[in-house]
Structures are given as structure tokens and as C-alpha cells.
Amino acid sequence: MSIPASKVKELRDLTGAGLMDCKRALTETNGNVEKAIEFLRKKGIAKAEKRASKTTKEGVIEAYIHTGNRLGVLVEVNCETDFVARTDDFKKFAKEIAMQIAASNPLVITREQLSPEIIEKELDIYRTQAKNSGKPDKIIDRIAQGKLEKYFQEVCLLEQAYIRDPNKTVNDILMELAGKIGENISIKRFVRFRLGE
């Protein structure tokens, strides 16, 4: 199937992917732009997952001060090279992560950073709530696990719904950028300040 150059350009404008990648994606999807975007995203995420073991020692520390100067965030976002750290896409991502932290108030970056004591305490609360609402004993643990997953989505930065697109998680956005720029990206640490706290 012959793919018109205008369609390749359209896909490139939408995704920022290379010309050959766009052409290949359109060929694979019989010229369907929506499916080609999905194809490129999957390919990018697969590439990003392969690179996840690469060390990230470059990057930026981004600051965000919310309107009114009563809430501020500092976040360290890392990548593999200083070249990528200076790109607009990377800087924009770091800024948006700082805004995400300001808006969503995560406790940790990943669920592995939560202490076993906190997790057990939350599970105990959810089990008690299920018992008190009269649920049968055989499903109490399943209910508690389901509520624990929701808790992770609230307090773990990478699992939170992305503020600019609630259909994606912060991790989805990170993986998309890593696939696009071809480097591993990690969020190293953050601190959130609220006046008077």
C-alpha cells in the first residue's frame, strides 16, 4: 500500500516520531492514523521499558510555586544525558510533574516506597469497614485489596491519574516521553511545601 507523504507528515506532527517510523506505522495499520498513533505509542513504550535499566544521572531540579505563594514543590527528574535534560520536552515534563505533585499531593513515587506498616494499617481499616458494612467474610479480603489498589492510585505519584489527561497515569506519560526521546527517565525525589505546615 502506498502511503501519501501528507499522511506521514500528519502523523509526524501528531506524534513527533521520525519519518521512517511514521511511514512504517501507517503501512502496518493500512493508513489508519489513529491505529498508527497507537502502534507508535506501543513501540515507544516497549523501547522505554527496555531502557529502564540504564542509569539516569543527568536531569533537572524543577520548582513550581502555586499562585498565591502558599504552596511550592521541588522535584528531581533524571535522564541519561545532559543533552536530553536541556530539551524542551524534558523540561516541560519536569514542570508538569511538579504541578502534578502540587495538585495531587502524593506521599511517595512508587508503591514499593510505602512501608509495610502503612500498607497493613490501610488493609486493616478496609477489612474493618467491610465487616461493619455486613459483607460476607469470604469476600472481605478481596474488598480490602481492591480498596488498597485505589489507595495506591491516590498516594503513589506514578500511579496517579495525570492531571492533564485522567485516562492516563503519570507513569504512562513518563513512558511515552521515554519512548519518544529514546532515554530512560526517572523521578528521583520530591518535596512539597505548604505554608504553615
Per-residue pLDDT of 46-55, as tens digits, reads 454 555 555 6
Would you identify the CATH topology of the domain 58-109+156-194? Tetrahydropterin Synthase; Chain A (3.30.479)
Residue 168: predicted pLDDT: 93
Domain with CATH 1.10.8.10 in the chain: 5-51
What's residue 46's pLDDT?
Answer: 47
Class of domain 115-154: mainly alpha
Position 75 scores a pLDDT of: 96
Residues in the chain predicted with pLDDT less than 50, given as ranges, are: 46, 48
User: What pLDDT is recorded for position 52?
Assistant: 53
pLDDT of residue 60: 93
Residue 166's pLDDT is 92
Residues 18 and 40 sit within 8 Å (Cβ to Cβ)? no
Distance, first Cα to last Cα, the chain: 62
Question: Which residue type does 37 have?
Answer: I
CB 130 within 8 A of CB 140: yes
Residue pLDDT, tens place only, 151-160 = 999 999 999 9
* CATH number of this structure's domain 5-51: 1.10.8.10
Name the grid cell of 8.
506521514
Q: Where in the chain is the domain with CATH 1.10.286.20?
A: 115-154
In sequence order, the 6+-apart residues with CB closer than 8 A to the CB of 192 are 71, 72, 73, 101, 102, 105
- Rounded Cα–Cα distance for residues 2 and 192 (Å): 52
pLDDT, position 94: 96
